[in-house]
Amino acid sequence: MPVADCESGLSPADVTGAGTEAMYADLGHFTAASIRVAFVGLIYPCLVLQYMGQAAFLSKSPHCDIHFVFFESIPTGIFWPVLVIATLAAIVGSQAVISATFSIVRQCTALGCFPRVKIVHTSRRIHGQIYSPEINWILMLLCIAVTMGLRDTTLIGNAYGMACAGVMLVTTLLMALVIVFVWQYNCLVAALFLVAFGVVEAVYLSAALMKVPQGGWLPLVLSLVFVAVMYVWHYGTRRKHQFDVQNKVSLRWIHALGPSLGIVRVPGIGIIYSELATGVPAIFSHFVTNLPAFHQVLVFICVKAVPVPHVRDEERHLVGRIGPREFRMYRCVVRHGYKDVLAEDTDFENDLVLRIAEFVQMEADFDQRCSISDDGVVASVEVEGRMAVVPRPSDLARTGLLMREPGEEESVVARAAAAAKPESLINSMHTMHEAESPGFASRRRVRFEVANEHTDPMVKEELSALVEAKHAGVAYIMGHSYIKARKSSSVFKKFAVNVAYAFLRKNCRGPGLVLNIPHISLIEVGMIYYV
């Protein structure tokens, strides 16, 4: 790095100034006030002094090599200390650019404009302090490739100059949009801003364009590659989301199927994962029309990450109902913060049963308060579509359920009885998985019972069906939807959707799930969308 700085003519103030400018892209690491103070109080004076010193040196030594004017102007006695400062300045600038890259990639990922990558939040208190191992590796490989490919610091300097000039002009253009659309100023103010700054930066960019054949082409090529990747990913993701939204299963269609959904309802709980927080996904109709049977109780799970470090346990689950009571269909939105980590032994199944039971009880209490009018006449209350934040009940009797964990002897007797049934093969498979996963084994030994003192017959019937389904088993159903271009599409669209987007989707990270899914209970089904 010091040799590159010497031969390319980059001074410590140049590198540090560029790094400070890049730090504006990530205000999560530093506040805006601290960046302004550092730039105005330290960086800008250093830039002015060193450029004034270079101009004075050139006036006295007009025949020196202008590419190395900074280091030639340094007295021999302090050359090595300045070289150390240049190295430290290069480190500061590079770290600022790396941090800004992490921040920009995260923002693009949140907007659906970049493939999903792993984001590690390094601070519990500051949301913007993040790290992405994939992006870090890509930056390292690109740096090595550029160094080994160009092998000339002059070419690298030309590429650096082209990148800086382009960034300044793009920033000025985006700033003009901010003035008009965000700050709501007159277009004349934006035009004056463009004239004042854009003209000067356009002159710099025109000078840098002369260096395109000598290394300046590199940032242009890299920009085109990343723009192509972002466009393909955004296009494919947007079309997939549009298809999901436009083809959601209507409640009228579900009502027409009746409580049995037009198929055989078998004992058990079916947990269906969906990326939609509202409505029933199209993949559910794919299940219903192709599978001859479905579970007695259906729960649609949607996992959402929220931009806070932690979500309190009493605010984590949002539970609701889909269709009438007799349909036994529920929706649960699980919210988690970026620092929440679900332990492997977390009992999600039993916790979900308790929260659904709590929701049923809360719904019954609300109906009891609202269904009786002022004249004492009972009125019908519409319960469909209702959702509520449901905490884990502290008092188990409040839900109308009793939970107990059988002893070792009872567990052995239960296993022996299960082995005597025709489903002994399935039970033996569960036993094998329990031996490998102690956490899974412990949660399967928990049993629920409906409290006898529960008075509401409708609630007691619903809780009994829920407990019966839980004891029959839980199946996790995960649908994978894929998009393909129609046969009538253009060649460009077919390549973008069928090749480029499919490759990006296959090699990026999948949607984050904070639930520990036992593999023996996981069912994955694919569905193809033609766009």
pLDDT tens digits for range 358-409: 888 888 877 776 655 445 544 444 445 567 888 877 666 666 677 666 554 4
Residue type, 292: P
CA distance 169 to 167: 6
Better pLDDT: 188 or 124: 188
Domain boundaries, the chain: 2-240, 251-405+446-481
Backbone angles phi, psi at 412, to 5 degrees: -65, -40
Rounded to two decimals, the pTM is 0.76
Query: How many CB atoms lie under 10 A from the CB of residue 529?
Result: 16
How far, in Å, CA of 489 to CA of 60, rounded?
67
User: How many other C-beta atoms lie within 10 A of the C-beta of residue 119?
Assistant: 20
pLDDT for 342 beyond 90: no
The DSSP letter of residue 372 is B
Residue for token pair 């009891």: 368
Mean pLDDT across 418-440: 49
Is 369 exposed, middle or buried (CB count within 10 Å of its CB: 0-12, 13-18, 19+)?
exposed
pLDDT at 442: 47
- Listed in sequence order, the DSSP H helices in 73-186 are 79-110, 133-150, 153-177
pLDDT digit string, tens, across residues 80-123: 998 898 888 888 778 878 888 888 898 888 888 999 898 888 87
Number of H helices, E strands in the chain: 20, 11
CA atoms within 13 A on the CB side of 157: 16
Backbone phi and psi for residue 133, each to the nearest 5 degrees, phi listed first: -65, -40
Distance between CA atoms of 276 and 284, rounded to whole angstroms? 12
Q: Is the pLDDT of residue 290 over 50?
A: yes
User: For residue 223, what are the contacts with CB-CB under 8 A and spacing of at least 6?
Assistant: 166
In this prediction, residues 292-314 reach a mean pLDDT of: 84
Using one digit for the tens of pLDDT, what is the confidence trace for 452-502? 665 678 888 888 889 898 888 888 888 777 889 998 999 999 999 999 999
CA 449, CA 402: separation in Å to the nearest integer? 5
- What pLDDT is attached to residue 22? 60
Rounded percentage of the chain residues whose pLDDT exceeds 70 = 78
8 Å CB contact between 280 and 254: yes
Q: How far apart are CA 224 and CA 29, in angstroms?
A: 29
Only one residue has tokens 């593999």, namely: 519
What's the confidence (pLDDT) of residue 516? 64
Higher pLDDT among residues 378 and 12, named by residue = 12
Cα separation, 235 vs 249, in Å, equals 24
Residue 7 pLDDT: 39
Confidence of residue 297 (pLDDT cuts 50, 70, 90): very high
10 Å Cβ neighbour count for 19? 22
- The yes-or-no verdict on residue 8 having pLDDT over 60 is no
Closest CA to 193 of 176, 205, 178: 176
Instruction: State both tokens at 71.
Output: 């280091």
Q: Binning pLDDT at 50, 70 and 90, where does residue 423 land?
A: very low
